[in-house]
Amino acid sequence: MPKSVVVHPLVLLSVVDHYNRVAKDTNRRVVGVLLGEVCKGKVDVTNSFAVPFEEDKKDPTVWFLDHNYLEEMASMFCRVNASEQVVGFYSSGPEIRPADLAISELFRRFCTNPVFAIIDIRAKREDSGLPVKAYVSAEEVGEEGTETKRVFQHIQSEIGAYEAEEVGVEHLLRDINDPSESSLAERIRHQIAALTSLRARLLEMSRYMDDAASKKLVPSNQIIYNIQNIVNLLPNLNLPELVRAFMVKSNDIYLVIYIASIIRSITALHDLVNNKLKFRDVDELNEKKAEAITDKATAKPPTGESKKEGSSEKAADDSKNMDVDK
- Per-residue pLDDT of 167-179, as tens digits, reads 777 776 665 555 5
Q: Does residue 315 surpass a pLDDT of 70?
A: no
Report field, pTM of the whole predicted structure over 0.75: no
pLDDT of residue 274: 86
Would you say residue 147 has pLDDT above 90?
no
| % of residues, the chain, pLDDT over 90 | 24
> What mean pLDDT do residues 251-272 have?
92
3: pLDDT strictly greater than 80: yes
C-beta separation of 46 from 8 below 8 A: yes
Evaluated on CA atoms 104, 108, 112, 117, the torsion sign reads: negative
What confidence score (pLDDT) does residue 59 get?
83
Residues sharing a CB contact under 8 Å with residue 20, sequence separation 6 or more, in sequence order: none
Q: Rounded to an integer, what distance in angstroms lies between the CA atom of residue 51 and that of residue 87?
A: 15
pLDDT band at 138 (very low <50, low <70, confident <90, very high): confident
User: 3-class DSSP state for residue 202?
Assistant: helix
Q: Using CA atoms, how far apart are residues 299 and 313, in angstroms rounded to an integer?
A: 22
4-177 falls under which CATH superfamily?
Cytidine Deaminase, domain 2 (3.40.140.10)
- Rounded to an integer, what distance in angstroms lies between the CA atom of residue 326 and that of residue 318? 13
Mean pLDDT of the chain: 82
Q: What's the pLDDT at 174?
A: 63
DSSP 36: E
For 61-127, the DSSP string reads T-EEE-HHHHHHHHHHHHHH-TT-EEEEEEE--SS--TTHHHHHHHHTTT-SS-EEEEE---SS-S-
Is residue 283 pLDDT above 80, yes or no? no
Burial class (CB in 10 A: 0-12, 13-18, 19+), 163: exposed
What are 10-61's pLDDT values in tens digits? 898 899 999 999 888 888 899 999 999 998 889 999 999 999 999 888 887 8
Task: Identify whether the C-beta of residue 8 lies closer than 8 Å to the C-beta of residue 158.
Answer: no
| Pairwise CA distance, residues 110 & 70, whole Å | 10
Cis peptide before 94 (omega within 30 of 0): yes
* Gyration radius (Cα) of the chain, Å: 41
What pLDDT sits at residue 40? 85
Share of the chain above pLDDT 70, in %: 83
What span, in angstroms and rounded, lies between the C-alpha atoms of 135 and 118?
Answer: 8
When pLDDT is cut at 50, 70 and 90, the band that residue 181 belongs to is: low
